[in-house]
Amino acid sequence: MAAIDRRARGALVLVLTGAAAAAHWPRASGPAPRPCAAPVAVGGAAGEVLMCSLAPLEALLRVCPPTGPIRPGDRLTPTPTLIGCRLSVRPLPAARRLALGLKLDVNGATARELEALAGVGPATAAALVAARPYRDWVDLERARGIGPTRRARLRPHLTLRPPPPLRPSSSPPRDASAPRTPSGSPRGSAG
């Protein structure tokens, strides 16, 4: 138990030190670097580090379990507990996700998040939320104030479903033939 506690503290100190250093590190001049495909922010009040994969965090993920699935555009905040640590998983603000080149899920975003889109104010955001669910891009036109032109302008910044959770590279893929219940019988079968 003490070894887990020591490793958890060591991993937490490493992540927070990196986040604090990144917050104070001098930035290179010139255009901003192109964001990666699946960015995840790690850090807390001292600052945060943008990671492009979960590979550097595998040791931390083994010691500090996340509070939920990790998706692109999430912020992971390590929190010490009595027996180790816990990674709090929350989405980054919508404006930050859009700046990183990530899309907003039009079926799951709040009206306030949708307002981060260019050309979408409170009335349009409320209309988009009220006309849910959207199964196809043409369905967006059901929302008051959305026509073909505005739909075409919004489409590059929206998605109809949330992104799948990220998996650390060391975790084996789930085998479809593996038993899913403690008794060994597949879920949904009798007996």
Residue ranges of domains in the chain, CATH in brackets: 2-22+37-92 (no CATH), 95-159 (1.10.150.320)
Q: What is the pLDDT of residue 30?
A: 38
Q: Is the pLDDT of residue 184 over 60?
A: no
Compute the average pLDDT of residues 95-113.
91
pLDDT value of residue 23: 53
Q: What is the pLDDT of residues 121-154, one digit of tens each?
A: 999 999 999 999 999 999 999 999 999 999 999 9
DSSP state at residue 42:
E
Q: What's the pTM? A: 0.65
Q: Is the peptide bond before 133 cis (omega within 30 degrees of 0)?
A: yes
Within the chain, how many helices (H) and strands (E) appear? Answer: 6, 6
The pLDDT tens digits for 64-96 are 889 999 888 899 988 888 888 888 999 999 998
Residues 10, 12, 17, 22, Cα dihedral to 10°: 140
* Residue 105 pLDDT exceeds 70: yes
Average pLDDT, the chain: 77
